Amino acid sequence: MNIQLFLIKFGEESNKPIKNLVLTSLTITLVYTICSTIYKKYAKGNDPWNRKGFKKIPSPPERYPYIGHMYSLGDSPSTKLDKWHVKHGPILHLYMGIQHWIFVSDPVIAHELMTRHGSVTSDRSNHTFAFEMFSKNGSSKRYLSKAASGISFNKYGKKWKDSRSAVLSILSVPYFDAVAGTIESVADNACGHLKKITENEGSVDPLEYIQMATYHTMIKAVLGKDVRSIDDTVLKDIIWITHKLLRYASPEGDIESFLPKFSWFREQTQLKKDMKSFVELRDKVYTDLIKEAVANNTECWITRAHARKSEYNLNDNDLIVIASDLVSGGGENPCTSLMWLFAALSQYPDIHKRVCAEIDNFVTENGRIPNFLDRLDLPYTCALLKENLRFRNTSNFGIPHRVTKDIEALGYFIPKDSLIVSSMHAMHMNSSVYNNPYEYMPERFLGHTKTWAAESYGKIDERFLFNFGWGRRICPGPYLAEMTIFIVAVRILAQFHIEPTVDVNGKPEFVDLNSFSNKGFTFAPTEYKVKFVPRSNNNLPKDSV
Q: Which residues bind ligand HEM (CB under 6 A)?
A: 151-152, 164, 171, 325-326, 329-330, 333-334, 337, 394-395, 398-399, 401, 467-470, 473-477, 480-481
**Residue 379: CB minimum distance to ligand HEM, A:** 20
| Residues β-bridged to residue 530 | 204, 500
Whether the CB-CB separation of 423 and 78 falls below 8 Å is answered with: yes
Report d(CA 353, CA 355) in Å as an integer: 6
- In DSSP notation, 85-127 reads HHHH-SEEEEEETTEEEEEE--HHHHHIIIIITTTTS-B----
**Residue 171: CB minimum distance to ligand HEM, A:** 6
Buried b (16+ CB within 10 A) or exposed e, 448-471: eebbbbebbeeeeeebbbbbbbbb
Report d(CA 487, CA 187) in Å as an integer: 7
Rounded to 10°, the helix 349-366/316-345 angle is 110
Measured from the CB atom, is 60 or 525 closer to ligand HEM? 525
Measured from the CB atom, is 90 or 476 closer to ligand HEM? 476
- Rounded to the nearest angstrom, the gap between the alpha carbon of residue 11 and the centroid of all alpha carbons in its chain is 28
- Cβ-proximal residues to 417 (8 Å cutoff; 6+ apart), any chain: 100, 402, 403
**Residue 311: CB minimum distance to ligand HEM, A:** 19
**Residue 473: CB minimum distance to ligand HEM, A:** 4
CA angle 469, 471, 473 (to 5 degrees): 65
**Residue 422: CB minimum distance to ligand HEM, A:** 7
**Residue 136: CB minimum distance to ligand HEM, A:** 16
Measured from the CB atom, is 91 or 259 closer to ligand HEM? 91
Phi, psi at 390, each rounded to 5°:
-70, -50
Measured from the CB atom, is 176 or 262 closer to ligand HEM? 176
**Residue 58: CB minimum distance to ligand HEM, A:** 23
**Residue 333: CB minimum distance to ligand HEM, A:** 3
Report d(CA 163, CA 225) in Å as an integer: 22
Phi, psi at 422, each rounded to 5°:
-80, 125
First vs last C-alpha separation in the chain: 40
Phi, psi at 29, each rounded to 5°:
-60, -45
Measured from the CB atom, is 253 or 330 closer to ligand HEM? 330
| Residues β-bridged to residue 421 | 103
**Residue 458: CB minimum distance to ligand HEM, A:** 15
Measured from the CB atom, is 115 or 287 closer to ligand HEM? 115
Q: Compute the chain's Rg from CA coordinates.
A: 24
Measured from the CB atom, is 76 or 467 closer to ligand HEM? 467
Measured from the CB atom, is 57 or 171 closer to ligand HEM? 171
DSSP 8-state class, residue 262: G
356 is in an annotated binding site: no
In 3D space, the residue among 155, 125, 134 whose CA is nearest the CA of residue 256 turns out to be: 125
**Residue 114: CB minimum distance to ligand HEM, A:** 6
- The amino acid occupying position 398 is G
Phi, psi at 100, each rounded to 5°:
-110, 115
Measured from the CB atom, is 92 or 151 closer to ligand HEM? 151
Region of 68 (left: φ > 0; alpha: ψ -120 to 50; beta: rest) is left
102, 211, 428 from 272: Cα distances, Å: 29, 28, 36
**Residue 190: CB minimum distance to ligand HEM, A:** 17
Measured from the CB atom, is 300 or 399 closer to ligand HEM? 399
151, 200, 223, 401, 471 from 124: Cα distances, Å: 10, 48, 26, 5, 13
Report d(CA 482, CA 181) in Å as an integer: 15
Measured from the CB atom, is 121 or 538 closer to ligand HEM? 121
Question: Which positions make up the binding site for heme?
Answer: 475
Task: Give binding residues as ranges.
Answer: 475
